[in-house]
Amino acid sequence: MINIIDYEMGNLRSVEKAFESLGFAARVSADPEAIRSAEKVVLPGVGAFRDCINNLRAGGFVEPLREHISAGKSMLGICVGMQMLFDESEEFGRHQGLGLIPGKVMRFPSGMVETGERLKVPHMGWNNISIKQESPLFKNIADDSFVYFVHSYYCAAENQEDVAASCRYGDVEFCASVWHDNIMATQFHPEKSQDVGLRIFRNFGEL
């Protein structure tokens, strides 16, 4: 069973439907205890880092999630669900993350220009990724594949060995995906990334 954590932040039903369309048993649950019985866990996230991490803590999800990871079970973070794995974020002040991946979450600088045009923040739409490691998530996925992003803040990993894929937006090459033992995550949204996204979900489900 794949447990999708419902802490009131994220594209929960879209993620659930994507897994189910691939034939995997998936459930959206607001019960922290459901994490303990799950084979795999998905931590989605949409919105501000501060609100997401506060909801996660208030809902009692942090300790069961840490136990799940310590037991060697697989987890997948999506968008802010990836950002919360890092040490801290500078969004709306400084806020502590889960500290599972060394690094911090930073805002894209204003005034970036590419091919003579000013780039917008948030970074929204399709962009290509550069695969840095043979992460289980990227099995049978070609380097330079296009995926869908929606974010104003990006993850700056302290250890490059944690970076599974990167992406460039303007002057910034940022972490598009992490892989650390049984922890996997994407800054982009697989549920919005069509065939590539479904392949990522299949790879996770087949672990």
pLDDT mean values, one per 10 residues, the chain (207 residues): 93 94 97 96 94 96 97 98 97 95 96 84 96 96 98 97 97 96 97 97 97
pTM of the model: 0.95
For residue 191, what pLDDT is reported? 96
Query: For this structure, is 91 an active site residue?
Result: no
For residue 10, what pLDDT is reported? 78
What letter would DSSP give residue 120? P
Query: How many domains in the chain?
Result: 1
- Which position among 16, 52, 79, 91 bears the catalytic label? 79
For residue 65, what pLDDT is reported? 97
For residue 133, what pLDDT is reported? 93
For residue 110, what pLDDT is reported? 86
Query: For this structure, is 79 an active site residue?
Result: yes
- Which position among 52, 68, 95, 191 bears the catalytic label? 191
Report the distance separating Cα 84 and Cα 50, nearest Å: 9
For residue 116, what pLDDT is reported? 76
Q: What is the CATH number of the domain that holds 191?
A: 3.40.50.880
Give the C-alpha distances (Å, rounded to integers) separating 83 from 38, 63, 109, 177, 192. 22, 18, 17, 10, 18
Query: For this structure, is 175 an active site residue?
Result: no
Report the distance separating Cα 172 and Cα 163, nearest Å: 15
For residue 25, what pLDDT is reported? 97
Q: What domain range is 51 assigned to?
A: 2-205
